[in-house]
């Protein structure tokens, strides 16, 4: 149990991530640290939750997932540790863990209160360094979860936007934009197929209309959007060789309608 994954909104410009790694390695020099992602939009809990939900299961059993997307740092929000059947999660209790854990077998939830595991003094603005990183490091050494605080019953839920389904229309929205400018929606492949069945359909995104699901980015004409299911099973709106977000002037929250007929 020596793998620690780190997911933050700290970006790559500053020293925050490097310092957190240093704290982990000082406690457990044998820890294997994996940078899951540090380019979450600042304070965007929903985006952090989306990335975690679609990533954590690919790690070996016993991995400690350290998540610091924490706009409430320094406030009264709780700091939590969750043990599931296969993994450990360390994060602020602001909903960022909720989507990932909604279908997991949870074996224990702890509010992190045991200050002997914290760096001193604890900064009001960098709990990632002073609280979460040390706790993750000690967990990677095999410490029992109840060494870190008291048992609690649950974690804060996160209200993620869900597609709305009508008789002939499924309405979703763009919830994430990846590095390539692809527009990821909250409509899953299973939901899409269940809604469409054997019917013909069109996908409407602002003034653009798409009437098929592609299987590669090269299937569409240049400068025309295509629809494809991404590697995590979500409906994605893309442009071949171009950023759909940039060239279609679309962003998070853009409505995507699937109409069957």
DSSP states along 59-72: SPTT-EEEEE--TT
DSSP states along 51-107: HHHTTGGGSPTT-EEEEE--TTTTSS--EEEEEESS-EEEEESSSTTHHHHTTS-EE
- Predicted local distance difference test score (pLDDT) of residue 220: 75
Same fold, 3-151 and 164-260: no
23: Cβ contacts below 8 Å, ≥ 6 apart: 119, 129, 133, 134, 137
The domain segmentation of the chain, as residue ranges, is 3-151, 164-260
User: pLDDT tens per residue, the chain (261 residues)?
Assistant: 699 999 999 999 999 999 999 999 999 999 999 999 999 999 999 999 999 999 999 999 999 999 999 999 999 999 999 999 999 999 999 999 999 999 999 999 999 999 999 999 999 999 999 999 999 999 999 999 999 999 999 999 998 889 999 999 999 999 999 999 999 999 999 999 999 999 999 999 999 999 999 999 888 777 889 999 999 999 999 998 899 999 999 999 999 999 999
Give the H or E element holding residue 183. Answer: strand 183-188
Query: Cα(31)–Cα(136) distance, rounded to whole angstroms?
Result: 10
* CATH number, domain 164-260: 2.40.30.90
3-state secondary structure 118-137: CCCCCCCCCHHHHHHHHHHH
Helix (H, G, I), strand (E, B) or coil at 47: helix
**For residue 73, what are the β-bridge partners?**
none
What is the pTM (predicted TM-score) of this model?
A: 0.93
* CATH number, domain 3-151: 3.40.50.10790
Output the CA–CA distances (angstroms, integers) from residue 247 to 71, 223, 225, 227, 236, in the order listed: 31, 8, 10, 15, 15
């Amino acid at each position: 149990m020596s793998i620690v994954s780190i997911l933050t909104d700290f970006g790559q410009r500053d020293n925050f991530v490097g310092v957190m790694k240093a704290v982990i390695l000082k406690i457990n020099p044998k820890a294997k640290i994996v940078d899951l992602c540090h380019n979450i939009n600042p304070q965007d809990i929903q985006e952090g939750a989306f990335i975690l939900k679609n990533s954590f299961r690919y790690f070996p059993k016993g991995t400690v997932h350290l998540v610091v997307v924490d706009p409430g740092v320094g406030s009264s929000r709780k700091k939590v540790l969750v043990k599931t059947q296969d993994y450990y999660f360390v994060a602020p209790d602001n909903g960022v863990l909720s989507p990932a854990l909604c279908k997991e077998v949870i074996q224990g939830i702890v509010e992190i209160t045991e200050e002997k595991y914290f760096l001193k003094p604890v900064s009001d603005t960098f709990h990632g360094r002073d609280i979460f990183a040390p706790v993750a490091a000690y967990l990677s050494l095999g410490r029992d979860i109840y060494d870190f605080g008291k048992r609690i019953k649950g974690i804060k839920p996160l209200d993620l936007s869900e597609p709305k389904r009508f008789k002939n229309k499924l309405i979703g929205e763009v919830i994430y934009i990846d590095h390539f400018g692809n527009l990821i929606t909250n409509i899953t492949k299973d939901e899409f197929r269940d809604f469409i069945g054997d019917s013909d359909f069109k996908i409407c995104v602002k003034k653009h209309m798409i009437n098929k699901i592609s299987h590669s980015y090269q299937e569409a004409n240049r400068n025309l959007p295509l629809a494809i299911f991404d590697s995590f099973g979500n409906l994605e709106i893309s442009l071949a060789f171009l950023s759909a977000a940039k060239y279609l002037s679309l962003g998070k929250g853009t409505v995507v309608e699937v109409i069957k007929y």
